[in-house]
Amino acid sequence: MNISIAGAGNIGSLLASKLALGNNDITIIENCNDVAAYASDHLDCMIAVGDALDMETMRRAETGHADIYAALTQVDEVNILSCQIARKLGAKKTIARVRNPQYINSKKNIFSGEEIGVDFFIHPEYETSQAISRLIRQIGTSDIIEMDDGKIQFMGLYIDNRSKFLHIPLKDFNKQFGDLPMRIVAIKRRTRTVIPNGDDILVAGDQIFFICNPQYKEKILNIFGKKDVAIDDIMIIGGGQIGKFTAQQLEKSMNVKIIEQNREKADKLAEELDKALIIHGDGSDLDLLHSEGLTDMDEVITVTGDDETNIITTTIARHLEVQRTITLINKNEYLPLISALNLEAVVSKHHLTVNAIRNFIRRECIAQYSELPGIDASVVEFVAAPKSKIVGKPLKKIKFPKKALIGAILKNGKDVIIPRGDTQITPEDRVVIFCDPELVDSIEKLFK
At 8-67, the pLDDT tens digits run: 999 999 999 999 988 889 999 999 999 999 999 999 999 999 999 999 999 999 999 999
Q: What b-and-e string marks burial along 64-90, b requiring 16 or more CB atoms within 10 Å of the CB?
A: bebebbbbbbebbebbbbbbbbbbebe
On whether both 243 and 346 belong to a single domain, the answer is yes
Question: How many degrees, rounded to 5, is the angle at CA 89 between CA 87 and CA 90?
Answer: 65
Predicted local confidence at residue 110, as pLDDT: 54
Burial classification of residue 419, based on how many CB atoms lie within 10 Å of its CB (0-12 exposed, 13-18 middle, 19 or more buried): buried
Residue 145 pairs in a beta bridge with: 154
Question: What is the arrangement of strands in the sheet containing 143-147, beginning at the earlier edge strand?
Answer: 143-147, 152-158, 207-212, 182-189, 192-194
On whether both 345 and 400 belong to a single domain, the answer is no
Predicted local confidence at residue 177, as pLDDT: 63
Alpha-carbon gap, residue 164 to 285, rounded angstroms: 38
Q: Which long-range contacts (CB under 8 A, 24 or more apart) does 393-398 make?
A: 393/424, 394/421, 394/422, 394/423, 394/424, 395/419, 395/420, 395/421, 395/422, 395/423, 395/424, 395/425, 396/421, 396/422, 398/446
In a domain, 321, yes or no: yes
Neighbours of 293 (CB within 10 A): 11
Alpha-carbon gap, residue 431 to 428, rounded angstroms: 9
On whether both 95 and 79 belong to a single domain, the answer is yes
Q: How many domains does the chain have?
A: 3
In a domain, 426, yes or no: yes
At 205-220, the pLDDT tens digits run: 888 899 988 888 888 8
Tell whether the model's pLDDT for residue 412 goes beyond 70.
yes
| E strand spans, 159-246 | 182-189, 192-194, 207-212, 233-237
In a domain, 159, yes or no: no
At 326-336, the pLDDT tens digits run: 999 988 888 88
| Residue 33 and residue 98 in contact, taking contact as beta carbons nearer than 8 Å | no
* Residue that finishes a domain, picked among 317, 351, 385: 351
On whether both 307 and 266 belong to a single domain, the answer is yes
| Residue 187 and residue 166 in contact, taking contact as beta carbons nearer than 8 Å | no
CATH number at residue 425: 3.30.70.1450
| E strand spans, 102-151 | 120-122, 143-147
| Residue 220 and residue 286 in contact, taking contact as beta carbons nearer than 8 Å | no
> Mean pLDDT across the stretch 397-426?
90
At 356-408, the pLDDT tens digits run: 999 998 766 888 999 888 888 899 999 999 999 999 999 999 988 888 999 99
On whether both 299 and 363 belong to a single domain, the answer is no
Distances (CA, A) of 439 to 84, 378, 402, 434: 35, 9, 10, 10
Alpha-carbon gap, residue 39 to 128, rounded angstroms: 25
Alpha-carbon gap, residue 71 to 28, rounded angstroms: 10
Tell whether the model's pLDDT for residue 228 goes beyond 70.
no
Domain residues for 331? 233-351
Distances (CA, A) of 50 to 45, 47, 72, 355: 16, 9, 14, 27
From the list 390, 394, 393, the residue with the least C-alpha distance to 422 is 394
CATH number at residue 107: 3.40.50.720
Neighbours of 195 (CB within 10 A): 20
On whether both 294 and 262 belong to a single domain, the answer is yes
Task: Return phi, psi of residue 202, to 5°.
Answer: -100, 140
* Residue that finishes a domain, picked among 351, 374, 402: 351
Straight-line distance from the first to the last Cα atom of the chain, in angstroms, rounded to the nearest whole number: 17
On whether both 303 and 345 belong to a single domain, the answer is yes
Please state, rounded to an integer, the average pLDDT across all residues of the chain: 90
Predicted local confidence at residue 443, as pLDDT: 92
On whether both 77 and 63 belong to a single domain, the answer is yes
In a domain, 16, yes or no: yes
At 266-301, the pLDDT tens digits run: 999 999 999 999 999 998 889 999 999 999 999 999
In a domain, 216, yes or no: no
In a domain, 287, yes or no: yes
On whether both 7 and 118 belong to a single domain, the answer is yes
What percent of the chain shows pLDDT beyond 90?
A: 58
The DSSP code for 170 is G
In a domain, 135, yes or no: no
Q: Where are the alpha helices (DSSP H) in 210-259?
A: 217-223, 241-250
Q: Which long-range contacts (CB under 8 A, 24 or more apart) does 18-24 make?
A: 18/354, 18/358, 18/371, 18/437, 19/358, 20/44, 20/45, 21/437, 21/438, 21/440, 21/441, 22/440, 22/441, 23/441
* Residue that finishes a domain, picked among 68, 96, 122: 122
The DSSP code for 396 is G
From the list 247, 228, 206, 237, the residue with the least C-alpha distance to 327 is 237
| Threshold 0.85, pTM exceeds | yes
On whether both 441 and 413 belong to a single domain, the answer is yes
- Radius of gyration in angstroms for the set of CA atoms belonging to the chain, rounded to a whole number: 23
On whether both 12 and 101 belong to a single domain, the answer is yes
On whether both 334 and 392 belong to a single domain, the answer is no
In a domain, 196, yes or no: no
From the list 68, 142, 86, the residue with the least C-alpha distance to 327 is 142
